[in-house]
Structures are given as structure tokens and as C-alpha cells.
Amino acid sequence: MKYFDKNNKLTLMHKELNKIIRKLEMWEISKNLFINLYLELKNKIDNLFKELNDYKNENIIWNLWHIMRIEDLIVNILICEKESILNEKLKNELNISITDTGNSLTKEEIKKFAKNINIKKLKYYSDKISKNTINLIKRLKAEDIKRKINKINLEKIINGCGVTKDNLWLIDYWGKKDIAGLLLMPLSRHIIVHLNKCYKYIETKSKII
């Protein structure tokens, strides 16, 4: 089962956003559409945290981390051109050893990561990222959406261990996008894809029980 198939409300919202986001005269409509879509997705994420209170599934935890870390890197370093929310203090509070997106973690490493991570601090990280993203979108103007990414900030992600050496394709991928492209992917579509995986894990768990 796909929770966000082509006829799902959130998928249709994303499809409409894709049609209009680069039309400068429609930016205010696009902005409101993105915010509404994003808040719906954040609500789905919050529901997953409630699931984790009863069932600490390593796959869900990894997907949540992956969503958050990418969003943090994209919004703060690439779009806002500042530091990411994740710093050494928060990293220690989360009780994690990585600062990257988690793409290269093996199954065993994911299990260890999920076992050790502080879920309450992960929720805190999620909330802080979301608040920051919404504030960014509200500040963006029509002339911003076709702005290309500064290569210096892509290098900043690499130097700050935001991605691992075997995942530098992410840097190439993000570097080809403008702000509108990043809002579409990964800041909305990417979240939909990984939420779909999370809810699939929950469905599988329910069948086993």
C-alpha cells in the first residue's frame, strides 16, 4: 500500500505546487500552498514520534533523522547561508556520533544509531527545524525562488561532514537546483517519500502483532 499515492491529497498539493512555483506572479499562492503542505507533513512526522513512544523502530528513527538532517542542511546552509541547527552541543544531547544524512549507514549501524539516540532530543530537533523552515518560507520573495545555490555553501556542507565522501552525488544534485527546486525536492517531495516508508513499517508491525 502507498500512503501517498498519486491521488493522495498531499501528492496532489505537491503536483500543483510544481506547476506554479516558478511563476513569479503566483508566488504568494505558491508560498501558502507550500506552507499548508509542509504543515500537513509535519503533522505526519509528529504522529510518528507518538508511535515511537510504544515501538522504537530503527527504520522509522533512521528515516526521521534522514529527513531532518537534509532539511537542516538545505534550509540553513544552502538557502539561508548560515550555520545548521545541529551543532556539537545538540549532537551530544542526541547521543549520536554522526553529522551526515545517514545514507551510508549499514543495517547494524542503523540499529546501533536508533538504540542510542535520545528520542526527546530528536523531537526537539524536528520542531526547531520546522519552525525555522516556516520562518524562511514566509520571508522569501518572488525574486528569490530562481536563485541558484552558492558553491561555497556546498563546500561548507562537505567540510562540515554533512554528507559522506561516498554520497557526494547529493552535493552535485543539490547544486543544480534553484530555491524553487529545493522547495520541491527535498523540502517536500523527499519528505513524502520517506513518510510513506515509515507508515509502511507501521502497517507491517501491526500485521505481525
Give 208's pLDDT tier (boundaries 50, 70, 90).
very low
Structural domain boundaries in the chain: 9-208
Residue 6 is predicted with a pLDDT of 65
User: Whole-prediction pTM value?
Assistant: 0.94
Query: What's the CA gap between 114 and 96, in Å, rounded?
Result: 9
Provide the pLDDT for residue 55: 67
Q: What is the pLDDT of residues 135-155, one digit of tens each?
A: 999 999 999 999 999 999 999
Q: Give the mean pLDDT of 27-45.
A: 98
Cell of 131: 519552525
Q: What mean pLDDT comes out for the span 165-176?
A: 96
Cell 532539511 maps to which residue?
71
So what's the pLDDT on residue 186?
97
Whether pLDDT at 103 is above 90: yes
DSSP string of 152-186? HHHHHHHHTTSS-GGGTHHHHHHHT-BHHHHHHTT
Q: For the structural domain made of 9-208, what CATH number should be given?
A: 1.20.120
